[in-house]
């Protein structure tokens, strides 16, 4: 895993070979953050990384100036890896919660986030419900940005009653759908 830019830019962390998580490719991540730079100022923002996996996006967000990133990861081995990387970076900007992302979204009663990123497993049975859950449970501040990573098999523009969708980006096999509140 590589952090592309910001205060931790170019830092690399080897991912254990037994991990089932699929980190966002460097190519897709770099292009996504180039687009995000024109849509949101991450400096000082509060962000949420659902289905954090390796923590790649969470650490990229911290590196680029997010004041606080809450990372949700259900797998204990993956959460331990994220905690290890945070310790190596000596960052206090990460809040790691080891729980099911769907449970977190349904039960969250805290402050809304400026930016939310979700990367559920591509073949997850509930993948198509994630945007509705995030946008419907008021996790995102008004004017906030939500990005959902998914395969080309999904097109969130075609889901009726799904408000806030405004753009889909495609980088090889990686797709991102962007939503605004």
Angstrom distance (rounded) from CA 20 to CA 17? 8
86 touches 32 (CB < 8 A): no
C-alpha triplet 13, 86, 55: angle, nearest 5°: 65
Max intra-chain CA distance, the chain = 44
In contact, 178 and 169? CB cutoff 8 Å: yes
Residue 20, pLDDT > 80, answer: no
**Residues 32-52 pLDDT 10s:** 999 999 999 999 999 999 999
Measured in Å, how far apart are the chain's first and last C-alpha atoms? 31
> Is 160 a residue whose pLDDT tops 70?
no
pLDDT above 70 covers a percentage of the chain that reads 98
- Rounded mean pLDDT, 59-80: 97
pLDDT at 143 over 90: yes
Q: Using alpha carbons, select from 21, 122, 3 the residue that is nearest to residue 81.
A: 21
Taking residues 107-128, what's their average pLDDT? 89
Give just the sign of the alpha carbon dihedral 77, 66, 145, 172: negative
- What residue segments make up the domains of the chain, in order of their start? 31-180
Determine which of 3-17, 99-113, 114-128, 138-152 has the lowest per-residue pLDDT on average: 114-128
What is the Cα–Cα distance from 65 to 46, expressed in whole angstroms?
10
pLDDT reported for residue 137: 87
Does residue 81 sit in helix, strand or coil?
A: helix
Is the pLDDT confidence value at 152 over 90? Answer: no
Which CATH topology does 31-180 take? Answer: Rossmann fold (3.40.50)
């Amino acid at each position: 895993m590589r952090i592309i830019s910001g205060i931790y830019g170019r830092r690399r962390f080897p991912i254990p070979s037994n991990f089932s998580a699929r980190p966002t490719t460097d190519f897709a991540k770099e292009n996504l953050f180039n687009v995000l730079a024109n849509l949101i100022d991450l400096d000082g923002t509060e962000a949420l990384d659902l289905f954090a996996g390796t923590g790649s996006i969470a650490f990229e967000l911290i590196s680029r100036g997010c004041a606080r990133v809450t990372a949700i990861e259900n797998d204990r081995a993956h959460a331990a890896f994220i905690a290890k990387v945070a310790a190596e970076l000596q960052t206090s900007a990460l809040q790691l919660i080891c729980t099911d992302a769907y449970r977190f979204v349904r039960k969250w009663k805290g402050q809304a986030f400026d930016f939310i990123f979700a990367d559920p497993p591509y073949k997850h049975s509930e993948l198509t419900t994630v945007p509705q859950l995030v946008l419907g449970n008021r996790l995102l501040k008004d004017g906030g940005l939500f990005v959902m990573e998914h395969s080309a098999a999904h097109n969130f523009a075609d889901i009726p009653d799904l408000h806030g969708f405004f753009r889909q980006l495609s980088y090889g096999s990686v797709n991102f759908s962007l939503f605004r509140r």
